[in-house]
Structure 1
Amino acid sequence: MSVDRAQAAANTTATNTYVTAPGVTVNVRSGPGTSFSVVRSLPGGSHVTIRCQTTGTTVTGPYGTSKIWDCIGNGQYVSDTYVHTGSDGFVASRCS
C-alpha cells in the first residue's frame, strides 16, 4: 500500500473522531441537554468519536453557540460547542 493510500485509509477510519476544547473540562450528559445528569467528565483535549448527532438545549461554549449535541457513546452526549469539528452544522448522521 502506498503512503497516500495508507494516509487515506487512516483518515477514513478517524473521520468521526474529534478533539474537545483544550483547557476545558467537558461534561458528558445522559441526554442532549443541560437538564440531563452528568455521567462523567472529559479533560480538555480529549479525543471523542461522534456516533451521531441530535438537537437539544442551546449551549454557548468555546466553539460558538449551538443546539447540536454529539452522541459519543450509549447514553453519553456532549454539546457540539465543546468539540472541534470545524463546522457549525452536522458532521455525522442524525441520531434515531
Structure 2
Amino acid sequence: MSVDRAAEAAEAAEAATDSLRYYSVAPGCRLNVRSGPGTDYNIVRVLPLGAKVPVFCQASGTRVSGPYGTTDIWDNINNGEYVSDAYVQTGSDGYIAPRCS
C-alpha cells in the first residue's frame, strides 16, 4: 500500500469513528447481548444499566417485544454481538443502519 493510500485509509477510519453514533438502551434494562440476531443464540454478555451502544449494521431475526415496540430487527453492536432493536432507542421502527451481510 502506498503512503498516500495508507494516509487516506487512516483518515477514512478516523472519520468513521468520529461520526459513529451511540444509542441508549431502555432505562432500567440490563440487556442480553447475543452471538447472533435472535433469542436462540447464546448470550455472550449482559449490558449494564444506562448502557449506550453503536449500531454498525442490522439484521432480521427473532421477533421481540420491548419498551420500544415489537420488532424482528437486531442491532450489531460489535463483532458477533447483537441486541434486539426493541430495547434500543434509535428513534425509528425501521432500519437505521445497513443490513448485516
TM more than 0.5: yes
Tell me which stretches of 4 or more aligned residues in structure 1 moved more than 6 Å: none
User: Which residue is equivalent to 1:70?
Assistant: 75
Letter of the structure 1 residue corresponding to residue 75 of structure 2: D
Structure possessing the higher radius of gyration over alpha carbons: 2
* Identity of matched residues, %: 59
Name which of 13, 28, 41 aligns with 2:19: 13
User: Which residue is equivalent to 2:44?
Assistant: 39
Provide TM-score, normalisation by structure 2.
0.80
Q: Structure 2 stretches of 5 or more lacking a match?
A: 1-14
Question: How far 1:28 moved relative to its partner?
Answer: 0.1
Question: How far 1:26 moved relative to its partner?
Answer: 0.2
Q: Comparing both structures, which one devotes a greater share of its residues to strand? A: 1
Where in structure 2 are the equivalents of 1:45-64 lying within 5 Å?
A: 45-64=50-69
CA offsets 1:27-82 (integer angstroms, 9 cap, x no match) = 00000000000000002321100010010000001111000000001110000001
Q: Structure 1 stretches of 5 or more lacking a match?
A: 1-8
Name which of 24, 30, 35 aligns with 2:29: 24
Question: How far 1:13 moved relative to its partner?
Answer: 1.6
Provide TM-score, normalisation by structure 1.
0.84
User: Which residue is equivalent to 1:5?
Assistant: none
SS at match of 1:84: coil
How many residues are paired up?
A: 85
RMSD: 1.4
